[in-house]
Amino acid sequence: MEPLTAIPPSTAIPTASAAPPGPSTASALSSDFETFLRMLTTQMRNQDPLNPIDSADFAVQLATFSSVEQQVLTNDLLAGLAAQMATLGMGQLAGWIGLEAEVAAPVRFAGAPVSLSATVAQGADAAELIVTNDLGGIVQRMAIAPRSGPVIWDGRDPSGLPLPDGTYRITAHSLARGDTIARHEAHLHARIDEARLDRGEVRLVLETGQGVGAGEVLGLRPSTP
């Protein structure tokens, strides 16, 4: 089995949480500005002649609206740039397609055994995988060798029946004389099948069907047949 290649910090993939600006933003601002001018004109026409509004107040109102308008346009520009950066990041991930990734994330189970790697603390004389569902309930305990390394999780309940399809969190518990001395989250190993842009964020789709963020990938290696 070939060693994993750690992902260096310099290859971090930029993501964006904001969606690209909509095409109606400019027209909406234009409409709001015209409405503001009509309100300002009406205010001037109906002011009290004996107590007219100070011209400085009009200037403040206009400056305030202009400031808000510029801020909205700036935010739209930043959102567009962030979306472009995310697209570039997805292009950089093209070389990851087909590789096997080590991912620190809950495991999506769809009936087939799943490849994991478990960390077991030194000094442990026994170890087991503890599997919990979305509600935090323990649905499986699976004894494993008391050493760190690859593990195949079969996804079966205590009666031997397959667990329902879904997402599970799996931790490796290190035991010494029956006591738990350490807990480590098990890492999923799966082939990367696709990279996609989801709401401005680059997501990787694994062979298990689950999507993970590029930042959740701990290492890469050639996919094993």
Residue 159 lies inside a defined structural domain of this protein? no
The two beta strands, 114-118 and 187-198, are antiparallel
pLDDT above 90: residue 153? yes
In this structure, what token pair is assigned to residue 78? 């930043």
Predicted pLDDT at 32: 62
Residue 216 lies inside a defined structural domain of this protein? no
Query: Which residues are paired to 133 by β-bridges?
Result: none
Q: Give residue 105's Cα distance to chain centre.
A: 11
d(CA 104, CA 219): 10
Determine the average pLDDT of the residues in 163-171.
Answer: 95
d(CA 223, CA 29): 52
Res. 209 pLDDT band, cuts 50 70 90: confident
pLDDT above 80: residue 65? no
Q: Look over the chain and give the mean of its residue pLDDT values, rounded to a whole number.
A: 77
Residue 53 lies inside a defined structural domain of this protein? yes
pLDDT above 90: residue 183? yes
Looking at the chain, the whole-number percentage of residues with pLDDT higher than 70 is 63
Residue 72 lies inside a defined structural domain of this protein? yes
Answer for the pair 163, 109: CB distance below 8 angstroms, yes or no.
Answer: yes
Helix axes 25-45, 55-92, angle to 10 degrees: 170
Answer for the pair 157, 52: CB distance below 8 angstroms, yes or no.
Answer: no
pLDDT above 80: residue 69? no
pLDDT above 50: residue 77? yes
Residue 20 lies inside a defined structural domain of this protein? yes
pTM to 2 decimal places: 0.57
d(CA 168, CA 105): 9
CA distances in angstroms from 8 to 5, 94, 218, listed in the order given: 9, 17, 9
Determine the average pLDDT of the residues in 72-97.
Answer: 60
> What is the longest distance spanned by two Cα atoms in the chain?
93
Q: Of 7-11, 27-31, 120-124, give the range with the top mean pLDDT.
A: 120-124
Determine the average pLDDT of the residues in 155-168.
Answer: 92
Determine the average pLDDT of the residues in 183-190.
Answer: 94
Q: How many domains does the chain have?
A: 1
Residue 169 lies inside a defined structural domain of this protein? no
Predicted pLDDT at 24: 52
Answer for the pair 182, 82: CB distance below 8 angstroms, yes or no.
Answer: no
Predicted pLDDT at 88: 47
The two beta strands, 217-222 and 5-6, are antiparallel
pLDDT above 50: residue 16? no
Query: Which residues are paired to 124 by β-bridges?
Result: none
Residue 104 lies inside a defined structural domain of this protein? no
Domain that holds residue 17: 11-93
